[in-house]
């Protein structure tokens, strides 16, 4: 089986490539630095020749509302058209849990638009919606910092390890298309302010975290359900926050 991974040199994509190869399949990382540009179409037809599955874990280089919408709609349109021409049998895309419950976020509106294009395409598909990654906690803190103070929502968050995201995406890619959405999340639920406060303290970061229920998370307000799974259908990943921290510490020590 040949699997093309759009965004295959990034945090998630590189791990998906490794996992697909470990299972004995061909995995081709496709990104601008491997000669594939999904915005212009450069190298796309060549990369998809003979492909059975395309996994799209790419991300916009700019999170400005107009830029991110343009990226996901243009890139996805080009990829889906190339898949149809190449006879690809399964399109797998990584999206975000709760994207359709956060219309105030330009980024999440763009992900919903991307999902709509996938569902309307004749190419069989599976969308994997994941919660936020442990690896992005520092970026979340930075985005909410002003004058050394981090102001964060008290809403719920259920983050997971990037390795668990990649594992599930790779498993989905190896299975038949579902024409459905799969949700994956971390095994533990936190309040965003408390989670980041603990992470900064553990890192010796002197910034103060202020809890504000009205604070927005990348443009959208959070409550107890906005960006966490609703219902009992989500797949819960195995890696806890403490286990992830221990693994990171061990890797740094070695």
The pLDDT tens digits for 60-113 are 999 899 999 999 999 999 999 999 999 999 999 999 999 999 999 999 999 999
Give the CA count within 13 Å in the CB-facing half-sphere of 176. Answer: 1
Would you tell me how many other CB atoms lie within 10 Å of the CB of residue 122?
Answer: 8
The pLDDT tens digits for 25-74 are 999 999 999 999 999 999 999 999 999 999 999 999 998 999 999 999 99
Task: Look at residue 254 in the predicted model and tell me its pLDDT.
Answer: 83
Report whether pLDDT(231) > 90: no
CATH number at residue 26: 3.40.50.720
- The phi and psi torsions of 27 (rounded to 5 degrees) equal -130, 125
Would you tell me how many other CB atoms lie within 10 Å of the CB of residue 214?
Answer: 8
Mean pLDDT, rounded, for 199-225 = 94
| Torsion angle of the four alpha carbons 216, 105, 188, 143, in this order, in degrees rounded to the nearest 10 | -50
Do 101 and 225 contact (CB within 8 A), yes or no? yes
Mean pLDDT, rounded, for 167-175 = 98
* CA gap 229, 100 in Å, rounded: 12
Report whether pLDDT(234) > 90: yes
* pTM for the predicted model, two decimal places: 0.95
Do 220 and 108 contact (CB within 8 A), yes or no? yes
Domain region containing 61: 2-253
* Average pLDDT taken over every residue of the chain: 96
How many distinct structural domains can be found in the chain?
1
């Amino acid at each position: 089986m040949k699997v093309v991974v759009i965004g295959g040199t990034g945090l998630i994509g590189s791990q998906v490539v490794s996992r697909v190869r470990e299972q004995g399949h061909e995995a081709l990382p496709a990104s601008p630095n491997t000669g594939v540009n999904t915005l212009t179409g450069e190298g796309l037809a060549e990369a998809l020749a003979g492909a059975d599955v395309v996994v799209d874990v790419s991300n916009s280089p700019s999170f400005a509302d107009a830029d991110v919408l343009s990226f996901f709609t243009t890139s996805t349109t080009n990829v889906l058209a190339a898949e149809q021409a190449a006879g690809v049998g399964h399109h797998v895309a990584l999206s975000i849990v709760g994207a359709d419950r956060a219309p105030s976020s330009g980024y999440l509106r763009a992900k919903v638009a991307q999902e709509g294009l996938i569902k309307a395409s004749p190419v069989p598909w599976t969308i994997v919606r994941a919660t936020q990654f442990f690896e992005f906690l520092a970026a979340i803190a930075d985005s909410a910092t002003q004058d050394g103070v981090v102001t964060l929502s008290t809403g719920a968050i259920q983050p997971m390890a990037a390795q668990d995201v990649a594992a599930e995406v790779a498993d989905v890619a190896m299975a038949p298309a579902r024409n459905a959405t799969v949700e994956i999340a971390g095994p533990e639920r936190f309040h965003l302010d408390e989670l980041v406060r603990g992470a900064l303290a553990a890192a010796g970061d002197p910034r103060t975290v202020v809890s504000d229920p009205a604070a927005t998370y990348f443009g959208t307000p959070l409550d107890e359900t906005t960006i966490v799974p609703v219902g009992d259908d989500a797949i819960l990943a195995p890696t806890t926050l403490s286990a992830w921290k221990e693994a990171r510490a061990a890797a740094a020590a070695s």
